Structure 1
Amino acid sequence: MKKQIILATALLPITLLLSGCASSPPANPENICSIFEEKRDWYEAAIDTREKWGAPVHVPMAMMYQESSFKHDAAPPMRYFLWIIPIGRASDAYGYSQAKTVSWDEYIDETGNWFADREDFDDAMDFMGWYIHKTNRVNKVSKWDAYHQYLNYHEGRTGYRRKTYNSKPWLIKVARKVDNRAKRYSEQYWGCKDDLSRNWFMRTFF
């Protein structure tokens, strides 16, 4: 029994270190090939999302970068009264996808993914694929159109139809930023996707 306790104690720092690495943002978030080489499970999640929801790999990845910088516990900044007393955050958006609770609950109800966690990359990616797919179905926005998909994501589908973004010049700039990053990600991905797929196959079966 003593040996088991000693072994568990010795392994605890290693376990904590590995879990910290698993949830830490990628070292080079500007390059999608580097991201997927470092985070192999993220690549698999992105492929699963593409196959399930038809969302091209580079679009949800560019949107997620903008929303959370790939931080698993990202949240809006805290607001303060008189710069001292915390009064809560601007919204309840949380996690990789910065999904708000009402949207997350809608996703769970429609997909049946009852154990989904906003801090889990696979779940966050699946949520974004679902949102992109539904935006395509409801508002007829192409799944490849990162600019308008992001406006839907930020303003909600009803807000998008009302064109609320027209009164937010800063949001237009952000959407263009997301679109530009998606295009860079796409170009990068097409240059490395064969190697990623080949490496995935080799690692899985050999």
Structure 2
Amino acid sequence: MYKYARQPGAVVVFATAVALAAAGCASVDDASAPASKTSADAAAATTPAAPSVSARLGVDLCTLLSPDEISNALGRQGLVPKRTVADGAGHVVAESCDWGSETEGFISVGWMDEPIPQWQENEYSRLFTEATGLRTTVNDWEGRFCAVYAERASGNIGVTITPSEEYLKNHPVSPEDGTCSRNQGLIISVIQRAQGA
């Protein structure tokens, strides 16, 4: 599951953050390197997404994004969702639904029991906090990806969007016009849909 700051050529993945957080790994900040695969990744099981309502959220995570929303965010169509469940101490501690890959672009929606990462407050964390009514933290390394975590009493919500290198080449980003700003409406909507469950 994913947690990481993206360096050139590396990817942020919410599923890694969930698995690593569930395993008690420390959070990373914008300047850190991507997390490497650990034994914590083995605790997570990834399968094609058959319909499944999350016991925690009361909604199927794989229904929180439409195919058009995924296509608009990543510039790719037809991505198949995959469900990841992390188990800890005999019960589910995190779940995510993920579309894409490092090469084709990646988007993930999930929840986790662990505290949200402690990235620095910035304009996006304030914007998402105000829009959702939940304390949020955001990692948006130079606009190249966007990882947003919102704090809830019943499982923290995370949305991660990582465009492919090809997409970024064709749609250059900057800190002022990056993945978070381009997808802020989508991210807010997903967090609100998850809350409404």
Same fold by TM-score, threshold 0.5 exceeded? no
Query: Which has the greater radius of gyration?
Result: 1
Bigger strand fraction:
2
Bigger helix fraction:
1
